[in-house]
Structure 1
Amino acid sequence: MADKDLRINEQIRVREVRLISDDGEQQGIVPTLEALRMAKEQGLDLVEVAPNANPPVCKILNYGKFKFENEKKVRDSKKKQKLLKIKEIRMQPKIDDHDLDFKSKHIREFLAEGNKVKVTVRFRGRELAHTELGLDVLKDVLQRIEGEYVMDKPPSMEGRFMSMVLSPKSKK
């Protein structure tokens, strides 16, 4: 629920509202002016919490505190999110064995960090006629990092590139 679309006090322009008091007790359907008066008497605000209901649901509460609590919830939920990065490893179909070992080591490290890895083979010029060489390279990479990945997207051609996407095995 975004705070921007919540209306408070005089912004509420309906004849009557379903009122909830500051202690969470249902007050029933009350004229808006009466609900506003009750909120002012308690030194609190009238906040529309469910504008799509018929009639809209309003609650008597301290709006500043309510807004702060909502922002705090949003911040906490953002802290719990894990940002997933996609790392890309590029190579050519005529890659040397040692270079392939080196790149495989990097792929293993990226997966261990919890990142997804896009392994790409770039074809230049006449190499495009031999895409099976690129497929062999990708299969070779999979053999070298055996058991440490889950394949999200199998090897496929995208223009001059053949790529596949791997993600780390979930730790249970």
Structure 2
Amino acid sequence: MSREQRINTEIRAREVRVIGADGSQLGILPLKDALRLAEEKGLDLVEVAPQAKPVVCRIMDFGRFKYEQSKREKEAKKKQHVVNLKEVKLRPNIEAHDFEVKTRNTMRFLKEGDKVKVTMMFRGRQIVHTQIGHELLNRLANAVQHMAVIERQPKLEGRSMIMILAPKPDHHQQQPPQE
């Protein structure tokens, strides 16, 4: 149904196909008769299919209809999850404990359903040892492989090596396997 529906006197068609409040077909009626019918029941005549020939209108309580529609939209909004891109930055000479902390952060982001951009930053002459960065990124990817897929393989861009991890479908509801 469209955002802006015409109701009662806003309807422009001369003849309309009318659907009753209970969903029954009342047939094709002149607009005046359809409006009178809706008024007798204390309800509104709402245009539900303006492209149809003749225009389809329904007899209903428009205020209540709009309320129900907004409730449905709010429910749908609650259920959808916006995927964010979180970033975890590493250096080639990272300590073991720091690496574990970065791995836990990556797992937390993936559990929340977000993608993770893992950036290995090289300073000065470290750029000569890109294989160390590649090994560290692969180690991180292996540590989270039960909950993530590599969306983009590690790739050198300037002085950084970037890899993107995406959560496995329906993983943020599951628990990681226990070792």
Same-fold call, TM cutoff 0.5 = yes
Question: Which residue identity is paired with 2:13?
Answer: V
1:51 is matched with 50
1:117 to partner: Cα distance: 2.0
How far apart, CA to CA, are the structure 2 residues paired with 1:138 and 1:112? 19
* Residues 41-90 of structure 1, C-alpha deviations (whole Å, 9 max, x = no match): 22111101122222221101111111111111112222233444432111
CA distance in 2, matches of 1:50, 1:157: 55
Distance 1:50 1:147, change over 3 A: same
> CA contact under 8 A between 2:141 and 2:150: conserved in structure 1?
no
Aligned residues: 171
Aligned to 1:20: 19
Confirm or deny that 1:29 pairs with 2:28: yes
Contact persistence 2:115–2:164 (CA under 8 A): yes
Give the direction of change, closer, same or farther, for the CA distance of 1:99–1:11 in structure 2 (3 Å limit): same
| Structure 2 match to 1:38 | 37
2:80 alignment partner in structure 1: 81
Tell me which residue corresponds to 1:95: 94
User: 1:126-145 maps to which residues of 2 (within 5 A)?
Assistant: 131-145=130-144
Counterpart residue type for residue 11 of structure 1? E
Query: Deviations along 1:3-40, whole A, 9 cap, x unmatched?
Result: x3111111111122211011111112222222112111
Partner residue in 2 for 1:67: 66
Alignment partner, residue 105 of structure 2: 106
8 Å Cα contact 1:17-1:58 kept in structure 2: yes
Q: Say if 1:101 and 1:144, in contact at 8 Å, map to a contact too.
A: no
Q: Compared with structure 1, are the counterparts of its residues 18 and 84 closer, same or farther at alpha carbon in structure 2 (3 Å cutoff)?
A: same
RMSD between aligned alpha carbons? 2.6
CA distance in 2, matches of 1:42, 1:159: 72
In the TM superposition, residue 125 of structure 1 has moved relative to its aligned partner by 5.3
Give the fraction of aligned pairs with identical amino acids, expressed as a percent: 46
Deviation sequence 1:114-140 (CA, Å, 0-9, x none): 433221223455655654443222112
1:153 & 1:52 partners in 2: Cα distance? Answer: 46
